[in-house]
Structures are given as C-alpha cells and as structure tokens.
Amino acid sequence: MEKVECIVVGGGLAGLSAAYGLAAEGVEVMVLERGNYAGAKNVTGGRLYTSVLRDIYPELWEEAPFERAIVREAVTLMGDGAATTVEVASDRFAAPSPQSHTVLRARFDQWLAEKVGEKGGMVVGDMKVDELLLENGKVIGVRAGGDEVGADVTIVAEGVLGLLASAAGLREAPAAADHALGYKEVIELPAATIEDRFQLNEGEGLAQLFMGDVTRGMTGGGFLYTNKESISLGVVVAMEHMRSRGDELESWQLLDEFKEKAQIKPLVAGGEVAEYSAHAVAEGGFDKLPRLFGDGYLLAGEAAGLSLNALVTVRGMDFAIASGYHAARAALAARDAKDYSAATLSAYDRALRESWVIGDLDTARNVPGFIENERLFGVYPAAVSRLAESFFTVGPGRSSRMVKTGWRGARREFLNTATLKDLWSMRKI
C-alpha cells in the first residue's frame, strides 16, 4: 500500500487550512477532493468572519479573494404584512480591518488549494474517498478510486454529512433534529448597481438576515449577502420543521416566495440568476459534538459539527479554518513525537476547547434548544412589526400619546404567559 504522512479527506476550508499548515512545515500531505476542483461541492450562505485568517495565516488574509467587506449588518422581522429592520453600521466593521467578508466558495477554495500547492501540498480533484481504512480501531488510511493509500494521520474534513466517519463508527450519522437545509440563488448584478441599490462604497457590502414570514414561521430564516457582482439570496430551514410541515408547498418554492416579497423584489430586480445550490447545515451545537480525535485520525470542520447559528451571527467557515489549523498543529506535534495515537492527537481537542472554537459553541450551547421554539419565527416577527407599525400610523380618529400606543401594543402583543415564558428562557442564551 502506497503511503503518505498525512491524508486530508475533503478540499473544503477545514481540509485546505489543515493541508496549508502541514505543507508549510514540509509535511507530505495529500488532499483528496471529490469535486472537479476545490469548492465545486461547497455552498456558503455568504459570509466568512475573516479575522480568523488574519490571526493564523496573515499572509493569506492579505491576498484572499474576498467579495465585499461587510460594513452593514441588518436583521429584518417580517409578518402580517409588515416588516421591521434593525440595521447596524460601524466604523469597526470597515477598513482597515473588517471582521467579515462575503465569499463565493468555488473561487475562494480554489485559491486556497493553489496556496496549498505553492507550499508543496498536493490537492487531488475528481477523487472521492470511498472508505476510511481501520485496523484495530486505528485509522490507517483510505480507499479511494479503487486504490488504498496509507497515512500516519488522516484528517477527516469530509463535510457536514460525515458519511465516511459515521460508516467507520467515528461519529453518529446526521439527524434531522440537528440539521437545517439551506439553499440559495446567486443573482448577478453589476457592481455599480449593487453599490447604488444598497448605498455602499466600492468594495463594501451588506449582510441581511430575515425572520418570520420568509420561512412561514418555521425555525430558520432568509439571508441576503452582497458579493462583488452578485447577490446571494437564500433560505435556511430546520429539517425537522421542513419535513413535518402540513402545507403543500414544495421546499424550493419558499425561496421564490421570499423573492417576491415587497422588501426583496426591488433589491434583485434586473438581476440574472446564475446558479442554484443547496447544502445541509449542522446546527446541533456544543451538545452534539462528536469525539474529535482517535488513533490515527482527526475530525475537522463541519464533519465535526463545528458550526454555529447564534441567530444574528451565523458561522461555520471560520470554525472550519480554525479547526483545520489546530488539526495541523496536532498532527505536527504527533509527527515530532513519532506517535499518532489518540493520546497524542488529543492535543487537538484540548486546543479547540481552549480556543474560541469550542468556547463559542459552549457559550451558545442553549441556542439550538431555544430556536426550536416556532413562536420565535412565527408569532414574534409579526408582533414586533405590528407594534412598530402602530407608532408610524396616523388615524383613523384621534391619535393617542406615543407612550400609550406603545404600552397598549406591548400589552396586546407580549403580555401573555407564553411570551413571559419565552422571555424567561431567553436568559440562558
């Protein structure tokens, strides 16, 4: 059996980040990617919190093919024919060191794969791994394209479904309760049109999330991200809710319904849909993390459940890059020790727990349970919008004082046992 020092399963951000860290230290590393190229099977909503790159691979941050720096953040609650938007702009979001950028994965991942190549790593496309090879509970390599290849350590960064790892018994198969379905259109518009329409300076962008009507009250939401010359517009819905709904709507039609809404239609008008894509998203959070290491292997990225939906921040790619980096560090330490056992590779788990990667998942550990509550996506977006609307409404008849309008509306919409209970449960998130 042919053998290399390290095999990385999957040329997404976790795998490529690991491979980059290893290749830079002269490790013989081979990334196996089932798509025609890195990024061919990947879908993002749109945004990467890029500070992770600046911290761990500053030379990459300098030249990464980002789309736009996100300088404005917006959240829109919609329901009952009304919508309320909260928008935040901050100098801290903008140059010289913006915290996040929109990206398109086919472009971004191919670039990162090139960088791995420049460091001496090998990224092999069109190569699907069919099986992780185990010997006495130790991962000793992979079977791919009819051949077996051995490795001292295998970094499993196969993506959210984790089919190989679960077939090998290294983690559970994905469950509907812990996953969401996301799908989107990339809609092309000239850069100048995007900047005019969204009131952006050149190179700057907007990220907007939508809750309420967009998912017909199911847990999830809509999203809009501005890229350089396109808009990513999509919907994410909890699989459990998607599969148990009673209406006759086809799942894909939710996005069309969203697109037709008065708040969205003018934003994408005149745009050409260029691509339609879909992907699963892991949303189980801290309590659903699998064991991240064992004899001869490490799990990284979303295959390890490393992603976080914290309502107004939705993250995954930064977790992928950071976990790839820490996987590389652990593999390097194992190489120095000439010992690839679970005991040595457990350094990976410790590093993730000490860093923000598992730290942030821990902080948000009650969010997945909280957002199961459909009132959050059905009742409240409509209630907030009705209340906001009442302040701006004149007549019929004599208006009441502002404070009275507010109090009356708040009492009508929010003074009930269910809402008080929900408020109480909010203290944990």
Cα–chain-centroid distance for residue 317?
6
**What are the backbone dihedrals phi and psi of residue 206, each rounded to the nearest 5 degrees, phi first?**
-125, 145
Tell me whether residue 35 or residue 368 sits nearer to another protein (CB atom).
Answer: 35
Residue (40 or 429) nearer to another protein, CB: 40
Q: Does 268 bind another protein (CB under 8 A)?
A: no
Q: How does DSSP classify residue 215? A: G
| 127 belongs to the binding site for another protein (CB under 8 A) | yes
Q: Does 260 bind another protein (CB under 8 A)?
A: no
For position 101 contacting another protein by CB under 8 A, the verdict is no
Please report, as residue ranges, which positions from 24 to 53 form the binding site for another protein (by CB under 8 A): 34-37, 39-44
Q: Which is nearer to another protein, 63 or 260 (CB)?
A: 260
Contact string (CB under 8 A) for another protein, positions 276-305, x = contact: xxxxx-------------------------
Q: Which of 121, 108, 102 is nearest to 37 (CA)?
A: 108
Q: Return all residues near 175 (Cβ < 8 A) that are at least 6 apart.
A: 284
Q: How far is CA 152 from CA 163, 273, 301, 335, in A?
A: 21, 45, 20, 8
Site for another protein in 186-205 (CB under 8 A): 186
Which residues make Cβ contacts (< 8 Å) with residue 11, sequence separation at least 6? 19, 31, 32, 33, 35, 38, 39, 109, 113, 123, 125
CB of 354 to another protein, least distance (A): 32
Does residue 166 belong to the site contacting another protein (CB under 8 A)?
Answer: no
Beta carbon nearer to another protein, 210 or 348: 210
In the complex, what is the shortest distance from the CB of residue 226 to another protein, in angstroms, rounded to a whole number? 14
Burial of residue 58 (CB within 10 Å: 0-12, 13-18, 19+) is exposed
156: contact with another protein by CB under 8 A: no
For residue 43, the minimal CB distance to another protein (Å) is: 4
Q: Does 250 bind another protein (CB under 8 A)?
A: yes
CB of 111 to another protein, least distance (A): 13
Q: Which tokens in the block code for residue 126?
A: 């069109």
215-238 per-residue burial string, b: 16 or more CB within 10 A, e: under 16: bbbbbbbbbbbbbbbbbbbbbbbb
Binding stretches for another protein (CB under 8 A): 34-37, 39-44, 104-107, 125-128, 144-145, 160-161, 163, 174-176, 179, 181, 183-186, 230, 232, 239, 242-245, 250-252, 256, 273-280
